[in-house]
Chains A and B, each alone.
Chain A
């Protein structure tokens, strides 16, 4: 029987991929971000996954406005890195797992999630950056010659409003867990949820970062997903930036981990280009453990750390008015 052995959520900022591809990971700007991912690399290697189910969104790359699937699963043998306008990233071609992918499609559709099946799907930064940053070697994040395991891509529309709701995403995660559990082969599966955290890339409000909101989201991901499931789109767009709406994809990963999950590690850094970069690692807690899951102290770096105290003070001042 296949089983889900861990979950990880991470930002998928394109500039992180550029930093890796151009060997800039150890510059003063990028080092604090990459240092925070060494633990994720170690965790993933120790999990020895046979397959990563990688939830991401296509950024107008494989899908244009011609066809906009809400949920799509890549069922192909392999997925080439896409040319997003500056040539494809120099990273290995991603090997798929068609058997598991088709099984997921079948199980999910019979479970009333109407999945689009995709055979031709070049994958953009939303997909390759999470692989690079968790499968790279050390804080320099050197790209391996081949990805360590097979990957099943699950693409979620978050470009055209409305994306699927947080609750729908969480429920899809639960259905993925059920589908994985009914796969006959003995596979170790890790689920990635990607995108976020707070960022807005367009308009006069571009550059918006809401650290308080981000950290609260991280605080509740393991222990209180019920609150996160109910966050309306208006709150996502207003509080975390129009493009921060990607956070619903973290809830697919959380749903896939089951009732209880334990936070293993987190990292939060501002900025990664236009974005607040977040990483969180969760382990499933089999058989619904007793008591509250332990959470680690917040690790923050860069502007995130410098900004915390003054921000809090500003909030207080405002509420007294």
Chain B
């Protein structure tokens, strides 16, 4: 069985494992609630008040209000749950992916049209550091 550190060595990747699931339980249940139209309306009408219904940590709450997509992932958010917030705000998977990787949606879409993000250089943080050191 692969060790956790081996997954953690993959750059820019946050495996939704038991730790993230525990950390993000309430955050993800908030996202999940947005699949009901009435809840979407209530959230959009008063975000802070709606968030009071869920036991979010202060960091999670701030990340939601700030639309810090990568921050939400780091705080235990799962992309499939988070996509419900995206949909509520009219944001596509491509928009969120661009935001998380630090480029505009247009730049991200352009990268995908050219064949996507290459696997070379994206397998291992350790290998990337070693390579950097050699240069």
> In the complex the two chains form, is A83's CB within 8 Å of B101's CB?
no
CB proximity of B5 to chain A, nearest CB, Å? 11
Closest residue of chain A to B134, judged by CB?
Answer: A321
**Once the chains bind, are B13 and A242 in contact (CB under 8 Å)?**
yes
- Tell me the smallest distance from the CB of A167 to a CB of chain B, in Å: 13
Interface residues on chain A, number (Cβ under 8 Å): 54
Report A130 CB to chain B, min CB distance, Å: 17
Given known A-B contacts A85-B88, A303-B114, A205 and B12 have beta carbons under 8 A apart: yes
B93 within 8 A of A: yes
Q: Which residues from chain B contact A318 at a C-beta distance below 8 Å?
A: 120
With known contacts A82-B35, A203-B73, A314-B120, A64–B29 Cβ distance under 8 A: yes
Residues A234 and B2 in contact in the complex (CB < 8 Å), given A85-B86, A318-B120: yes
- The answer to whether A303 and B113 have CB atoms under 8 Å apart is yes
Instruction: A84 to B18: give the CA distance in the assembly, Å.
Output: 24
Pairwise interchain contact B34-A85, C-beta atoms closer than 8 A: yes
**Docked-complex contact A83 and B35, CB < 8 angstroms:** yes
Output the residue of B29, B85, B101 with the most chain A CB within 10 A: B101
Contact B12 A203 (CB under 8 A): yes
Compute how far the CA of A303 lies from the CA of B116 in the bound complex, rounded to whole angstroms: 8
A242 CA to B123 CA in the complex, in Å? Answer: 12
Q: How far is the CA of A152 from the CA of B117 in the complex (A)?
A: 36
> Cβ of B101: which chain A residues have Cβ within 8 Å of it?
203-207
Candidates B86, B100, B112; contact of A204 at CB < 8 Å: B100
When the two chains form their complex, are residues B36 and A83 in contact, meaning their CB atoms are under 8 A apart?
A: yes
How many Cβ-Cβ contacts under 8 Å join chain A to chain B? 170
Interface of B is mostly: helix
Closest to A303 in B: B115
Which of A138-146, A178-186, A208-216, A221-229 forms contacts with chain B?
A208-216
Give per-residue flags for B1-39: 1 if the beta carbon is below 8 A from chain A beta carbons, else 0.
010001100111111111001000100110110111100
A208–B112 Cα distance when bound, in Å, is 9
Is B87 a contact of A206 with CB atoms below 8 Å? no
Does any Cβ of B come within 8 Å of A238's Cβ?
A: yes
Q: Mark A66-107, 1 if CB is under 8 A from B, else 0.
A: 100000000000000011111100000000000000000000
Query: Would you call B117 and A209 a contact (CB within 8 A)?
Result: yes
A242/B15 in contact, CB under 8 A: yes
Sample of 6 further A-B pairs with CB below 8 A, known A84-B84, A161-B18, A203-B14: A59-B80, A85-B83, A85-B87, A209-B119, A239-B119, A274-B93
The 10 closest A-B pairs by CB, nearest first: A209-B116, A85-B87, A204-B12, A205-B12, A307-B115, A206-B97, A234-B2, A303-B115, A202-B79, A271-B112
